[in-house]
């Protein structure tokens, strides 16, 4: 039974719930739901599996490819290797990013969370750190692993090496891209608060917006799509930026800016709105 003496005053040690504790708590939240395990499993299988499958098919079909495609593949093999796995794998991160924020609302857990940490911005900051860091680590490991696998499968047809110009940047870039994408999805989950709506929005922004912008006439479409979040972000995985409108790091910076703005709006609304 509750026989403990009543605390005379609120404990003074540490003052306000310190950030380290919030990080620990957010980590507990992240690792104790199945959606996290599933999302990472799907990410790993998709990235490794599709990289292997598509590079294998490329080798099989090599003789039927036209000279132009062969030349393009030799010139810039990194997107050839990473592209297919990333295209599907990124969806797992989008879903998990949304869930990390929106499930607080759909389950009502946000009330427990905010009672424990009424400083809402700190809570959101801890959530961002705790989600982005594992995604970055897993993303980098996957990126280097899938590059290695793809490289060895393609070795009979083309040569690529981490020591070639910009290749290391492109491979590191995939992990960075996934981490920022995770935060991008988290921000939208936090803004919309409903899982289904937020996932639909993220998928639309990631997959639908770019081809849609491509329908714009002439160079307008090119310029617009260069500044769209994920298209800009994926520049970092290109050895030679395709449309030359933004450089690899500029593009990644644009993606980062989109994400920062969304997070800022989400944070402002989190403080402003009733929980």
Partner 1 sequence: MIEVNDLVKRYGETIAVDHLSFTVEPGRITGFLGPNGAGKSTTMRLILGLDRPSSGTALIDGKPYRALPDPLRYVGALLEARAVHPGRTAFNHLLYLAQTQGVPKARISEVLDLVGLSEVAKKRTKGFSLGMGQRLGIAAALLGNPRLLILDEPVNGLDPEGIVWIRNLMKQLAAEGRTVFVSSHLMNEMAVTADHVVVIGRGRLIADTAMDEFIARYAENMVLVRSPQADKLSEALRGLGAVVASQEDGALLVNKTEAAAIGELAAANGIVLHELSPQRGSLEEAFMELTKADVQFHSPDAIAQATNAQAAPASASATQGGGA
Tell me phi and psi for residue 14, to 5 degrees: 80, -10
Q: Which residues of 118-134 are buried (b: 16+ CB within 10 A; e: fewer)?
A: eebebbbbbbbbbbbeb
Q: Is 17 in the site for partner 1 (CB under 8 A)?
A: yes
Gap between the Cα atoms of 9 and 56, Å rounded: 67
Is 118 among the residues that bind partner 1 (CB under 8 A)? yes
C-alpha dihedral sign at 213, 218, 224, 227: positive
Site string for partner 1, 29-48 (x = CB under 8 A): x--xxxx-------------
From 57, 119, 137, 144, residue interacting with partner 1 (rule: CB under 8 A): 119
Is residue 196 involved in binding partner 1 (CB under 8 A)?
no
**Shortest distance in whole angstroms from residue 199 CB to partner 1:** 17
Measured CA to CA, the distance from residue 178 to residue 134 in angstroms comes to 10
Nearest to partner 1 of 24, 219 (CB atom): 24
* Residue number, 17 or 260, with CB nearest to partner 1: 17
Which of residues 8 and 60 has its CB atom nearest to partner 1 in the complex?
Answer: 8
Site membership for partner 1, residue 127 (CB under 8 A)? no
Q: For residue 107, state whether it binds partner 1 (rule: CB under 8 A).
A: yes
Q: Which of 53, 57, 75, 109 binds partner 1 (CB under 8 A)?
A: 109
In DSSP notation, 116-152 reads H---HHHHHHHHHHHHHHHHHHHHHHHHHHHHHHHHH
3-state secondary structure at position 32: coil
Q: What is the dihedral of CA 4, 18, 24, 114, to 10 degrees?
A: 80
Residue 163 lies near partner 1 (rule: CB under 8 A): no
**d(C-alpha 198, C-alpha 99), whole Å:** 9
Does residue 116 belong to the site contacting partner 1 (CB under 8 A)? yes
- In this chain, which of 91, 114, 155, 246 binds partner 1, going by CB under 8 A? 114
215 belongs to the binding site for partner 1 (CB under 8 A): no
Q: Which is nearer to partner 1, 15 or 211 (CB)?
A: 15
Neighbours of 274 (CB within 10 A): 3
Contact between 124 and partner 1 per CB under 8 A: no
Q: How many residues bind partner 1 (CB under 8 A)?
A: 39
Q: Taking CB under 8 A as the criterion, which residues in 77-106 touch partner 1?
A: 103
Specify whether the backbone of 119 is left (phi greater than 0), alpha (psi in -120 to 50) or beta: beta
Binding site for partner 1 (CB under 8 A): 1-2, 4, 6-7, 10-17, 21-22, 24-26, 28-29, 32-35, 103, 107-112, 114-119, 274-275
């Amino acid at each position: 039974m509750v026989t403990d003496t009543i605390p005379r005053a609120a404990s003074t040690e540490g003052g306000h719930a310190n950030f380290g504790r919030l990080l620990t708590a957010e980590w507990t939240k992240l690792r104790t739901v199945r959606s996290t395990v599933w999302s990472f499993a799907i990410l790993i299988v998709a990235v490794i599996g599709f990289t292997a499958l598509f590079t294998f098919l490329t080798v099989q079909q090599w003789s039927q490819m036209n000279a132009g495609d062969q030349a393009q593949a030799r010139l810039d093999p990194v997107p050839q290797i990473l592209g297919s796995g990333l295209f599907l794998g990124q969806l797992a991160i989008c879903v998990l990013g949304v869930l990390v924020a929106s499930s607080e609302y759909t389950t009502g857990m946000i009330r427990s969370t905010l009672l424990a940490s009424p400083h809402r911005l700190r809570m959101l900051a801890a959530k961002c750190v705790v989600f982005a860091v594992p995604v970055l680590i897993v993303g980098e490991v996957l990126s280097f692993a899938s590059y290695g696998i793809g490289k060895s499968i393609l070795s009979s047809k083309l040569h690529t090496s981490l020591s070639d110009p910009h290749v290391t940047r492109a491979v590191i870039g995939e992990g960075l891209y996934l981490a920022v994408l995770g935060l991008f999805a988290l921000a939208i989950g936090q803004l919309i608060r409903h899982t289904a709506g937020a996932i639909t929005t993220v998928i639309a922004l990631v997959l639908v917006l770019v081809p849609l912008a491509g329908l714009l006439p002439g160079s307008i479409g090119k310029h617009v799509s260069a500044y769209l979040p994920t298209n800009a972000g994926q520049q970092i995985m290109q050895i030679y930026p395709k449309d030359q409108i933004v450089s690899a790091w500029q593009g990644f910076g644009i993606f980062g800016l989109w994400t920062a703005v969304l997070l800022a709006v989400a944070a402002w609304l989190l403080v402003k709105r009733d929980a």
